[in-house]
C-alpha cells in the first residue's frame, strides 16, 4: 500500500505540476502573442497615416518622416517606397535601395508583410525586423519600416516563468532569437519549441523554448510520493494491526453473545438413523457479518483466547441441552472440537470437569474431536487422552489423513473414532477408478478396530460407496448442514418421517 500510494502521490503531483506548467505556458504564449501583435499593429497604423507622403518628394516628406520615426515606439527607420524602390528614408533622407535585394523574402504585393534582415545600412550588424505597409489605393507605393528589436525584455518578462529559457521570432525561414545576436536560419535552430503561435495577418511566428521538467518539480513529486507512501504505509499497518486485535473483539463477542452453536447430524451407516451431532461454532459479528470458525479459531489461538472460547461453547451447549436431548437417541454422541492450545493449557482439566458437571446425568456421550495438528506434544498428549478416557469421554481424530503425526499415536493409544477428512470423500465419484489412500485409511481403521466417520458426504453416491466400504458413520451436507438447535429439532422430525437412501 505504501509503494502504491507513493507512486500514486508522486505521479499525481508530477501530473499536477505538469498541467500547471502547461497552463502557464499557454497563458504566456497568449500574452506574448498579443503583446507583439499589438506592437506591430500600432506601428502599421502609424505608418498608414504617412501613406500620402509617398506622393510627395523626399524633401517635403523628410521632416514628417524623421519625427514619426523618432516618436514612434520601437521604430528604427521609415522609408517611402515606389515600385519596389525605397527612395526616401527617415534616417538618411534621399536614398535608392532596391527592396527585392535587401529583403528578398518580403512580398510587396501583399497589403502587409514582414521579414528579418541581418542589418540595415546604418546598423549593419544589428538584425532587425522589417514591416511592409502597402498604400491602400496604389499598389505600387507603400511604407517600409525597420524596427528596433531586442528580445531580451521579452525574456525578462517571461522570467516569471522559471523554466522558459528562450524566445524566437520566425519569419520566412529566418529566426531572430535570444540564443544568438545574429539572424539564424530556421534549420540551424532545430530545438523543438514548447509553444508556438502565429501573428494575425502576418507571416510571423513566435516560439517559446523551455524545459518540460524542472528539477524542483521532480524533487517535489518525489517528496510528495515518499510522504504519501509513508503516511499510507503507516495507516495501512495501523489498520491491519487494529484488525488483528480481533482478540479484543472475541472477548467483546463473548460478552455480547455474538457467538452461537450449530449442530450437524452424524448418521449411523447401518440403519441411516441419527447417531450423534457435532457442535460447530459461529460468530455473527455486528460489522463483519458471519465469520468462519476457520478464521476466528486461529485468531483466538494467536490471542490465547481459545480456552475462553471453548468454555463459552460449553455454556452454549448447556443452554441448548433440552433441544439436544429431544433429538439425540439414548447414549447419542455429541462431538466437540478441541483446539491444541486449550488441550495443553493448565485450565484444561478443570474446564472439562466443570462442563461434565453441568451436563444432566446420563444425557449423552461427549466425543472430543482432536486434529492431528493438536497432538504436537506427544509426551503431554498421551496422559491427557488417558485422563479423558478415565473421565468417560471418547476421543476422535479429526481431519484424519491431512496431518503427518497421527499414525504414531494410533500405535500407542486407542482412539475411539477416526474422522476421515472430507478431502478424501469429495474424491469419490470423480476419481472413479481407484481411491487408494481412502482404501488404505479404511483398512487401517479396521485393523486398529476403530470406528470410522466420513466427513463431508455430499451425494447419495458417496454415501452408498462409503456404506459399501463398511464406514460406520456419515456426516455431511447430504444429510444436513450444521443447524441451530431450533432448526435441528425441526430437521430431526422431518428426517425421522422418511429415512431415504
Ligand atoms: P471440522 O471440525 O472438520 O468441521 C467440519 C467442517 O466441515 C464444518 O465447517 C462443517 O460445516 C463442514 N462441513 C460439514 N459437512 C460438509 C459437507 O458436506 N461439505 C462441505 N464442503 N463442508 C462440510 P465449519 O463449521 O466452517 O468449521 C470449520 C472448522 O473450524 C472445523 O472443522 C473445526 O476444525 C473448526 N471449528 C468449528 N467450530 C469449532 C469449535 O467450536 N472449536 C474449535 N476448537 N474448532 C472449531
Ligand atoms: Ca470436527
Ligand atoms: Ca473434520
Whichever domain contains 38, its CATH number is 3.30.450.20
Atom of ligand 1 nearest to the CA of 306: 44
The enclosing domain of 476 has a CATH number of: 3.20.20.450
Q: For ligand 1, is residue 294 a contact (CB within 6 Å)?
A: yes
Range of the domain at 143: 13-215
Q: Are residues 294 and 204 in the same domain?
A: no
DSSP H or E segment with residue 198: strand 195-198
Give yes or no: residues 209 and 280 share one domain: no
- On whether both 326 and 468 belong to a single domain, the answer is yes
In a domain, 2, yes or no: no
289 shares its domain with 210: no
Residue with cell 520601437: 74
Regarding whether 263 and 210 lie in a shared domain, the answer is no
Decide: 458 in ligand 1 pocket, CB within 6 A.
Answer: yes
Ligand 1 atom 36: residue of nearest CA: 293
Q: Which of 187, 215, 243 is the last residue of a domain?
A: 215
- Is the beta carbon of 163 within 6 A of some atom in ligand 1? no
Neighbours of ion ligand 3 (CB under 5 A): 398-399, 455
Q: Does the C-beta of 399 come closer than 6 Å to ligand 1? A: yes
The answer as to whether 477 is a domain residue is yes
Pocket test of ligand 1: the residue of 258, 292, 293 to mutate, having most ligand atoms within 8 Å of its CB, is: 293
Are 207 and 262 members of one domain? no
Q: Is residue 6 part of a domain?
A: no
CA-closest residue to ligand 1 atom 20: 456
Instruction: Kindly state whether residue 243 falls inside one of the protein's structural domains.
Output: no
pTM above 0.85, yes or no: no
Q: Which ligand is nearest to the CA of 459?
A: 1
Q: How far is the CA of 294 from the centre of ligand 1 (A)?
A: 8
Instruction: Report CA(495)–ligand 2 centroid distance (Å).
Output: 22
DSSP state of 427: T
Q: Give residues with Cβ within 8 angstroms of 199, minimum separation 6.
A: 33, 36, 37, 40, 205, 206
CA angle 113, 114, 116 (to 5 degrees): 160
DSSP reduced 3-state for 339? coil
d(CA 95, CA 11): 64
Contacts (Cβ under 8 Å, ≥6 apart) of 143: 47, 48, 50, 51, 54, 78, 79, 80, 81, 132, 133
C-alpha 470 – ligand 1 centre gap (Å): 24
Ligand 2 geometric centre to CA of 3 (Å): 42
57 in the same domain as 185: yes
Domain stops at, among 192, 215, 238? 215
Model confidence over 182-208: pLDDT tens digits? 899 888 888 889 999 999 899 999 998
Residues 320, 261: contact at Cβ < 8 Å?
yes
| Residue from 253, 267, 280 whose mutation best tests the ligand 1 pocket (most atoms within 8 A of CB) | 280
How many structural domains compose the chain?
2
Q: What separation in Å is there between the alpha carbon of 62 and the centre of ligand 1?
A: 110
| 501 located within any domain | no
User: pLDDT of 265-305, one tens digit each?
Assistant: 999 999 999 999 999 999 998 878 888 998 898 888 877 89
Tens-binned pLDDT, residue by residue, of the chain (501 aa): 899 999 999 999 999 988 888 888 898 889 889 988 998 999 999 999 999 999 999 999 999 999 999 888 889 999 999 999 999 999 889 999 999 998 888 999 999 999 999 987 778 888 999 999 999 999 999 999 999 877 666 666 665 556 788 889 999 999 998 888 889 988 888 888 999 999 989 999 999 888 877 788 889 999 999 999 999 999 998 887 766 555 558 888 999 999 999 999 999 999 999 999 999 999 998 878 888 998 898 888 877 899 999 999 999 999 999 999 999 998 899 999 998 888 888 999 999 999 999 998 878 899 999 887 666 567 778 889 999 999 999 999 998 877 655 676 777 778 899 999 998 898 887 755 567 888 888 898 888 889 999 999 999 999 999 999 999 999 999 999 999 999 999 999 999 887 554
In a domain, 236, yes or no: no
Asked whether 420 lines ligand 1 (CB < 6 A), one says: no
Cβ of 253 closer than 6 Å to ligand 1, yes or no, is no
Same structural domain, 310 and 167: no
Question: Closest ligand 1 atom to the C-alpha of 457?
Answer: 18
| 234 found inside a domain | no
Q: Do 358 and 314 meet the contact criterion of CB atoms below 8 Å apart?
A: yes
Nearest to 171 by CA among 126, 209, 203: 203
Domain-embedded: residue 235: no
Amino acid at each position: 500500500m505504501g509503494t502504491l500510494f507513493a507512486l500514486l502521490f508522486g505521479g499525481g503531483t508530477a501530473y499536477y505540476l505538469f498541467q500547471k506548467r502547461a497552463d502557464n505556458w499557454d497563458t504566456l504564449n497568449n500574452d506574448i502573442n498579443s503583446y507583439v501583435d499589438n506592437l506591430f499593429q500600432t506601428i502599421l497604423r502609424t505608418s498608414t497615416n504617412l501613406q500620402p507622403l509617398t506622393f510627395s518628394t523626399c524633401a517635403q516628406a523628410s521632416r514628417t518622416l524623421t519625427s514619426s520615426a523618432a516618436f514612434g515606439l520601437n521604430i528604427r527607420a521609415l522609408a517611402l517606397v515606389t515600385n519596389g524602390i525605397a527612395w526616401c528614408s527617415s534616417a538618411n533622407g534621399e536614398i535608392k535601395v532596391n527592396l527585392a535585394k535587401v529583403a528578398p523574402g518580403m512580398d510587396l504585393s501583399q497589403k502587409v508583410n514582414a521579414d528579418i534582415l541581418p542589418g540595415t545600412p546604418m546598423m549593419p550588424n544589428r538584425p532587425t525586423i522589417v514591416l511592409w505597409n502597402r498604400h491602400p489605393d496604389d499598389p505600387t507605393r507603400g511604407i517600409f519600416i525597420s524596427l528596433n528589436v531586442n528580445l531580451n525584455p521579452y525574456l525578462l518578462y517571461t522570467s516569471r516563468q522559471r523554466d522558459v529559457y528562450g524566445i524566437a521570432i520566425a519569419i520566412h525561414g529566418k529566426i531572430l532569437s535570444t540564443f544568438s545576436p545574429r539572424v539564424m536560419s530556421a534549420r540551424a535552430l532545430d530545438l523543438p519549441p514548447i509553444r508556438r503561435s502565429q501573428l494575425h495577418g502576418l507571416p510571423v511566428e513566435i516560439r517559446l523554448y523551455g524545459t518540460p521538467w524542472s528539477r524542483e518539480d521532480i524533487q517535489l513529486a518525489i517528496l510528495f510520493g515518499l510522504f504519501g507512501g509513508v503516511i499510507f504505509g503507516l495507516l495501512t499497518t495501523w489498520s491491519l494491526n487494529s484488525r488483528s486485535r480481533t482478540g479484543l473483539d472475541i472477548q467483546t463477542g463473548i460478552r455480547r453473545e455474538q457467538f452461537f452453536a450449530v449442530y450437524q447430524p452424524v448418521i449411523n451407516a447401518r440403519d441411516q438413523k441419527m447417531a450423534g451431532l457435532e457442535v460447530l461454532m459461529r460468530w455473527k459479528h455486528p460489522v463483519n457479518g458471519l465469520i468462519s470458525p476457520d478464521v476466528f479459531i486461529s485468531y483466538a489461538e494467536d490471542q490465547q483466547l481459545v480456552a475462553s472460547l471453548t468454555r463459552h461453547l460449553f455454556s452454549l451447549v448447556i443452554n441448548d441441552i433440552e433441544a439436544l436431548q429431544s433429538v439425540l437417541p439414548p447414549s447419542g454422541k455429541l462431538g466437540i472440537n478441541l483446539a491444541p492450545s486449550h488441550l495443553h493449557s493448565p485450565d484444561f482439566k478443570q474446564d472439562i470437569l466443570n462442563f461434565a458437571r453441568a451436563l444432566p446425568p446420563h444425557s449423552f456421550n461427549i466425543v472430543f474431536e482432536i486434529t492431528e495438528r493438536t497432538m504436537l506434544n506427544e509426551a503431554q498428549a498421551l496422559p491427557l487422552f488417558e485422563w479423558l478416557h478415565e473421565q468417560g469421554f471418547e476421543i476422535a481424530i479429526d481431519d484424519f489423513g491431512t496431518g503427518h503425526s497421527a499414525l504414531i499415536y494410533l500405535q500407542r493409544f486407542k482412539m475411539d473414532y477416526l474422522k476421515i477428512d472430507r478431502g478424501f470423500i469429495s474424491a469419490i465419484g470423480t476419481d472413479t477408478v481407484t481411491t487408494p489412500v481412502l482404501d488404505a485409511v479404511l483398512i487401517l481403521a479396521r485393523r486398529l478396530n476403530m470406528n470410522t466417520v466420513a466427513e463431508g458426504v455430499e451425494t447419495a453416491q458417496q454415501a452408498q460407496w462409503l456404506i459399501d466400504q463398511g464406514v460406520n458413520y456419515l456426516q455431511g451436507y447430504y444429510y444436513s448442514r450444521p443447524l441451530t438447535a431450533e432448526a435441528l429439532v425441526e430437521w430431526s422430525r422431518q428426517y425421522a418421517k422418511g429415512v431415504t437412501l
